[in-house]
Amino acid sequence: MRIFLDTANIAQIRSAAKMGVISGVTTNPSLISKEGHADYEAAVKEICSIVDGPISMEVTVEDAKGMVEDARKYAKWAPNVIIKIPCTAAGLEATSVLKKEGIGVNMTLCFSPNQGLLAALSGAAYCSPFVGRLDDVGHDGMQVVRDLVEIYRNYQMSTQVIAASIRHPLHCIAAAKAGAHIATVPYNILMQMIQHPLTDAGISRFLSDWKRLTQK
Ligand code: G3P
């Protein structure tokens, strides 16, 4: 499973990129707004220059024509821009147009296997089931990831599953065990994935033993 960073925070993206563990970034209007990127074009271009992989930028209109226009504009910003489009009838229509133009789509706000199947049929390169938001309303969000991995595999569909709305490190393990192609992870959760108290205790003991030997 590959890991994308789910943020529009440039410092966090630089930090994660240095570790060599992320291969893409997903943004959305809320994340860009949270960072106060009034010049969102410049921000997305900067992100595209930091990470050599798919960078998702979301459309902010609801009609198919407007989505296609937004997508064509964003796709010119950098070769690695991927267009995030919500899973609606208009979103599917826009995705099928963009597929023919060679513009990659990450179908977002996916909450059911049926939505994910339609995303793949419309030509989306990626589909993002929102695990945490489903869990929030009492559904098993990860089951949608499992179902989509199975459905895409059954029919050799090339659409990749991005486990999104990841809320804690256990979601990452479950997504990897489910066979998700990608999990898009907030920076704080990436940091939690690294942490282990036994690693810290082990370093501390090795260093103090070394000091005892070398400072005799
Ligand atoms: O990138 C979209 C998705 O990951 C949002 O997550 O935490 O707002 O449900 P969240």
List the residue whose alpha carbon is closest to atom 4 of ligand 1: 165
Number of CB atoms found within 10 A of residue 215's CB: 6
Question: Do 5 and 16 meet the contact criterion of CB atoms below 8 Å apart?
Answer: yes
C-alpha Rg value of the chain to the nearest Å: 19
Active site residue 84: yes
- pLDDT band at 216; cut points 50, 70, 90: confident
**Nearest atom within ligand 1 for CA of residue 167:** 7
Taking residues 159-180, what's their average pLDDT? Answer: 98
Number of CB atoms found within 10 A of residue 92's CB: 22
List the residue whose alpha carbon is closest to atom 5 of ligand 1: 165
**Domain ranges across the chain:** 2-214
Number of CB atoms found within 10 A of residue 180's CB: 26
pLDDT tens profile 107-119: 999 999 999 999 9
Q: Model-level pTM? A: 0.96
Class of domain 2-214: alpha beta
pLDDT tens profile 174-183: 999 999 999 9
Indicate which residue of 84, 100, 177, 216 is catalytic.
Answer: 84
